[in-house]
Amino acid sequence: MEVFTCCTLLVLGCLLYAVVQLVRLVKADADLTLLWAERFGSSPESKLRGAVVWVTGASSGIGEELCYQLAKLGASLILSSRRKDELLRVKRKCLEISSLEEKDLLVVPLDLIDIGAHKAATDMVIKYFGRIDILVNNGGRSQRSLFVDTGLDVYQGLMNLNYIGTVSITKHVLPHMIERKRGKIITLSSITGLIGVPLSTGYAASKHALQGFFNSLRVEMGAYPDIEIINICPGPVKSKVVENACTEQYETSVETVTDQTHKMATDRCVRLILVSAANNLKEAWIADQPYLILYYLWQYAPTWGWWITQKGGQKRIQNFKSGIDADSTLVFSKKTS
């Protein structure tokens, strides 16, 4: 009888645990490990204050917001992207909203595709600050076009920018981190780095490449436990990513950008990136539902993942063809901030 009671309690306990996890998942906007770290782990305030952080793609969207939140944390910043005037605008705002001084912010205009310029840029940063604690590989470009309509230049261009450009900067910064035996390399991958997404074949390929590269590099860095390789995989987030996405040709961007309010707020995504950094999470999934469930299905139940992707994917293509945002009718509710 006692054994029977124990077994019943155990089963009930397991069921309760499963229900609690399911409820957490339905309400989640990031993977459960990251949300656990947000609640019980180290805070960005305790771990990132005073760090020297190099952010690529700092002139817009996620990179811009990263600069603001890092500035408020008291991190010294190197701001890089192609548009110097936009970087100066971001720098001015960082000075306005934080206690940072002019000397704490360095603007380094940089084209990720121009790999010949990356060594000089890295040397300049190290000379100025004496160290780089964190590299955030954020600069990049997306895609909105079907493979059958798209030129090969798009595939080459996206690989050169999102993959080779990121590998090149990492190649120059990593030896410095190895010398110091410490550092973090945070890379903006994407949900498309993990799962297949129609209209983004070239973009998804470049993000899958980043996943493969950094997952392998992390293992190579095993002898350096204080060098952290952190892959961030966001779903749709408010930014200029659709406006800047290439279409059938690399040089052509999306013509009309429709309503983006259904996407995750940029500040929420960035806060979760900083929590991931503070807690050295190897991979972070950041997305509202129904996207978040897709990551779990692809990871743990790929047959279902494929089935749902096929359904949602067709809807995405229909949305795109009818001129609205590809993801606009895939979401449960609109985000207000």
Ligand X SMILES: NC(=O)c1ccc[n+]([C@@H]2O[C@H](COP(=O)([O-])OP(=O)(O)OC[C@H]3O[C@@H](n4cnc5c(N)ncnc54)[C@H](OP(=O)(O)O)[C@@H]3O)[C@@H](O)[C@H]2O)c1
What's the CA gap between 138 and 160, in Å, rounded?
14
Q: Which stretch binds ligand X (CB under 6 A): 29-37, 78-86, 100-108, 317-325?
A: 78-86
Is residue 60 at the binding interface for ligand X, with CB under 6 A as the rule?
yes
Phi-psi label, residue 6: left if phi above 0, alpha if psi -120 to 50, beta otherwise: alpha
81: part of which helix (H) or strand (E)?
none
Among 78, 100, 161, 278, binds ligand X (CB under 6 A): 161
Is residue 61 at the binding interface for ligand X, with CB under 6 A as the rule?
yes
Please identify which residue in the block is written with the tokens 């001015």: 92
Report, in Å, the least distance between residue 192 CB and ligand X: 7
**203 carries an active-site annotation:** yes
Is residue 160 at the binding interface for ligand X, with CB under 6 A as the rule?
no
Residues of span 234-273 touching ligand X by CB under 6 A: 234, 236-237, 239-241, 244
What's the CA gap between 234 and 183, in Å, rounded?
22
Residues of span 105-134 touching ligand X by CB under 6 A: 110-113
Is residue 57 at the binding interface for ligand X, with CB under 6 A as the rule?
yes
Q: Which residues contact 182 (CB under 8 A, 6 or more apart)?
A: 133, 224, 226, 227
Q: In this complex, which beta carbon is closest to ligand X, that of residue 60 or of residue 201?
A: 60
Is residue 135 at the binding interface for ligand X, with CB under 6 A as the rule?
no
What's the CA gap between 183 and 57, in Å, rounded?
20
Q: Which residue is nearest to ligand X (CB)?
A: 61
Report, in Å, the least distance between residue 202 CB and ligand X: 12
CA dihedral 207, 210, 214, 215 (to 10 degrees): 50
Please identify which residue in the block is written with the tokens 């190099």: 54
Is residue 153 at the binding interface for ligand X, with CB under 6 A as the rule?
no
> Which is nearest to 138 in space by CA: 110, 119, 105?
110
Q: Which stretch binds ligand X (CB under 6 A): 6-14, 217-225, 232-240, 270-278?
A: 232-240
Report, in Å, the least distance between residue 220 CB and ligand X: 23
Q: In this complex, which beta carbon is closest to ligand X, that of residue 41 or of residue 165?
A: 165
What's the CA gap between 319 and 325, in Å, rounded?
6
Q: In this complex, which beta carbon is closest to ligand X, that of residue 178 or of residue 293?
A: 293
Q: Which residues contact 262 (CB under 8 A, 6 or more apart)?
A: 236, 325, 327, 328, 331, 334, 335
Cα 71–chain centre separation: 19
Q: Which stretch binds ligand X (CB under 6 A): 135-143, 150-158, 272-280, 308-316?
A: 135-143
Of 163, 203, 291, 295, which residue is the catalytic one? 203
Interface residues with ligand X (CB under 6 A) are: 56-63, 81-83, 86, 110-113, 138-142, 161, 188, 190, 234, 236-237, 239-241, 244
* Residues acting as catalytic residues: 203
